[in-house]
């Protein structure tokens, strides 16, 4: 915990500094949500096809989903979400002719969540 998944449009591959973003985001998760840095892990998934605004061209999408153990207040979750979107703005360079759709959510992991480290 936390479990972090980032889906991003293939068109953003060269513009998205994923390692720097993950580092900054992990620091934010530690600071805002009181997680341990050693527990942070992020999975990036490049999406070959994304559609925004009824199929118009010129759009790139990045969505970050952060799963945390229960217990954080709505205020903490909202603060972390705002910070993550802000960090996306810093780590996804503008691409000429492309509109960036950046979003994030913080959710509670289901009680059935289990982690094994070997």
The predicted pLDDT at position 104 comes to 98
Give the burial class of 111: count Cβ atoms within 10 A of its Cβ; 0-12 exposed, 13-18 middle, 19 or more buried.
exposed
Is pTM beyond 0.85 here?
yes
Task: Report yes or no on 92 lying in a domain.
Answer: yes
Task: Report yes or no on 113 lying in a domain.
Answer: no
Task: Report yes or no on 64 lying in a domain.
Answer: yes
Per-residue three-class SS string for the chain = CCEEEEEEEHHHCCCECHHHHHHHHHHHHHHHHCCCHHHCEEEEEEECCCCCCCCCCCEEEEEEEEEECCCCCHHHHHHHHHHHHHHHHHHECCCCCCEEEEEEEEEECCCCCCCCCC
Task: Report yes or no on 117 lying in a domain.
Answer: no
CATH number at residue 47: 3.30.429.10
Task: Report yes or no on 44 lying in a domain.
Answer: yes
> What's the number of domains the chain is made of?
1
pLDDT per residue over 16-57, tens digit each? 999 999 999 999 999 999 999 999 999 999 999 988 877 678
Task: Report yes or no on 16 lying in a domain.
Answer: yes
Containing domain of residue 29, as a range? 3-108
pLDDT per residue over 88-112, tens digit each? 999 999 999 999 999 999 999 998 9
Task: Report yes or no on 71 lying in a domain.
Answer: yes
């Amino acid at each position: 915990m936390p479990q972090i998944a980032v889906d991003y449009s293939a068109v953003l591959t060269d513009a998205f500094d994923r390692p720097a973003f993950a580092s900054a985001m992990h620091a934010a998760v530690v600071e805002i949500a009181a997680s341990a840095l050693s527990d942070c892990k992020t999975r990036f998934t490049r999406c070959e096809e994304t559609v925004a605004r009824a199929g118009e061209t010129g759009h790139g999408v990045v969505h970050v989903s952060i799963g945390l153990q229960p217990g954080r207040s709505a205020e903490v979750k909202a603060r972390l979400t705002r910070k993550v979107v802000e960090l996306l703005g810093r780590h996804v360079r503008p691409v000429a002719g492309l509109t960036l759709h950046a979003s994030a959510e913080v959710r509670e992991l289901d009680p059935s969540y289990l982690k094994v480290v070997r």
